Amino acid sequence: MFPSESEDLFDLMGDRPDKPEEACGVFGVYAPGENIATLAYFGLFALQHRGQESAGIATFDGSTVHVHKDMGLVSQVFNEKILQELPGNLAVGHTRYSTTGSSRRVNAQPAVVKTRLGSLALAHNGNLVNTAELRDSLAARNCEFATTTDSEAIAIAIGQEVDSGLGWMEGAIRAFQQCQGAFSLVIGTPDGMIGTRDTNGVRPLVIGTLPGVPERYVLASETCALDIIGADYLRDVEPGEMVWITNDGLASFFWATQPEPKLCVFEMIYFARPDSKFHNDSLYSYRMRLGRRLAIETPIDADIVIAVPDSGVPAAIGYSQVSGITYAEGLIKNRYVGRTFIQPTQTMRESGIRMKLNPLRDVLAGKRVIIVDDSIVRGTTSRKIVKALRDAGATEVHMRISSPPVTHPCFYGIDTDNQSQLIAATKSVQEIADQIGVDTLAYLSEEGMLEATQDATQNFCTACFNGRYPIPVPALLKRSKLMLEKLEPATVGS
């Protein structure tokens, strides 16, 4: 796992990342006559921020499937020679950060399953909440598992339905109806490519088109993966929708009778790249609106506004625009520092921040500083940043967070701690301020966060802020993370 943005600042110093961690990125392209493996490579390259543990591509050349996957970043797993060995008309790709299933090569995706109609290759973003029940049901049908992932269980479920006599579309729909939780899927078959989202559309999935006659189609977690290969955004896959892409074009089917959109709002706040678009609006613009609203809700007198780079930058700029306080770079990020397994010296550990972020003393010295970030999960990173700012001469440090306090864990594809480890679940805002060492701390309101989306507020999952889980969570699974909640034995949902 190679965390993205500012959450990996102190992983090099031996601390766990202090941000929620995304599950995966998925990509698919149907483009006969094109170099599909190279297209998939660059699509995954654009989605690298969504998962850095492993990467994989499966291509279909008629009935033959070619697969290459391994641990590491996209650029480490693939090279020109490997891509040349992945021919075909259709490609499915995946970048992974593990939620269900440990970080091992065998769990790398796409998951490939053989059926009577040929092999299928499945790439999954999200997390099922009924994985145990699904695996038990499949085991009762004498299915064998090669991995510990919920993704493989979905692929095997499709294979079982196909082997029972159904076609690809019918078998896939029957399998989707057995799955509970969050899943955005791209599935390759010898006959075409499938894309689908769960009934709530918790994780994103978009459709793009490549220029040419006939039109060719692309599926991706975010629009930034379309941009990199020159594809045009067509639309989102809707919650509860399945698209079937073949040489005849794109067909759409709704397998869920009552879809209810609940896109993870953290996708917009933090996970997705700022140049990706949701609802025809760049996330950079949304994050600037968060900062503007934050300045209205939480004013404070100061000399400069700075950001925790890079994820806090748009909100910090928005805060500066509304407050009239000058925006400046106070922390310089070394963008070439990645994972290292060489242990830093004790002196380096004590310095804490400078491996990844270095404060600008001439900008900070003698200044009252507002520092803007997108979230606080455990508080360990924030505490070290604040100390570094004070060591650089800041006379006051005021932290502003462009989202509400994270008080509940996620069960839908984000790796968050047990509730007892979430700082906002156990401490008041003032207690958090005292622990991280700031003069003042303030969060954006949930109302402000949702209004800034400029969409219907009920269309988002906000469970990590309020505990209202849109998809019922089995009591045993829920109890494993909700350490502070009092749950009755039969309780499910919220």
Catalytically active residues are: 24
> What does the block give as tokens for 72?
């590491």
Handedness of CA 422, 428, 434, 439 (dihedral sign): positive
Tokens 């020159």 appear where? 230
User: Is 95 within 8 Å of 143 (Cβ atoms)?
Assistant: no
User: Is 264 within 8 Å of 270 (Cβ atoms)?
Assistant: no
Closest CA to 242 of 255, 260, 229, 231: 255
User: Is 463 within 8 Å of 408 (Cβ atoms)?
Assistant: yes
Strand 368-373 with 304-307, pairing = parallel
Q: State the Cα–Cα distance between residues 418 and 422, nearest whole angstrom.
A: 7
Residue 249 DSSP class: E
Q: State the Cα–Cα distance between residues 386 and 400, nearest whole angstrom.
A: 12
CA angle at 221 for the pair 456 and 447, rounded to the nearest 5°: 25
Per-state percent for the chain, helix, strand, coil, to nearest 5: 30, 25, 40
Residue-by-residue DSSP string for 383-446: HHHHHHHHHTT-SEEEEEESS----S--SSS-B---GGG-HHHHS-HHHHHHHHT-SEEEE--H
Q: State the Cα–Cα distance between residues 475 and 459, nearest whole angstrom.
A: 25
What is the helix (H) or strand (E) element at residue 173, kind and residue range?
helix 168-176
What is the helix (H) or strand (E) element at residue 44, kind and residue range?
helix 36-46
Which parts of 222-343 fold into alpha helices (H)? 224-227, 265-266, 283-297, 313-323
Q: State the Cα–Cα distance between residues 338 and 360, nearest whole angstrom.
A: 22
Torsion of CA 184, 188, 192, 194, to 10 degrees: -10
Single-letter amino acid code for the residue at 301: D
Expressed in angstroms, the distance from the first to the final Cα of the chain is 31
Where on the phi/psi map is residue 192: left (φ > 0), alpha (ψ -120 to 50), or beta?
Answer: left
Instruction: Count the neighbouring beta carbons within 10 Å of the beta carbon of residue 4.
Output: 21
Q: State the Cα–Cα distance between residues 112 and 103, nearest whole angstrom.
A: 18
Greatest Cα pair distance, the chain, in angstroms, is 74
User: Is 172 within 8 Å of 155 (Cβ atoms)?
Assistant: no
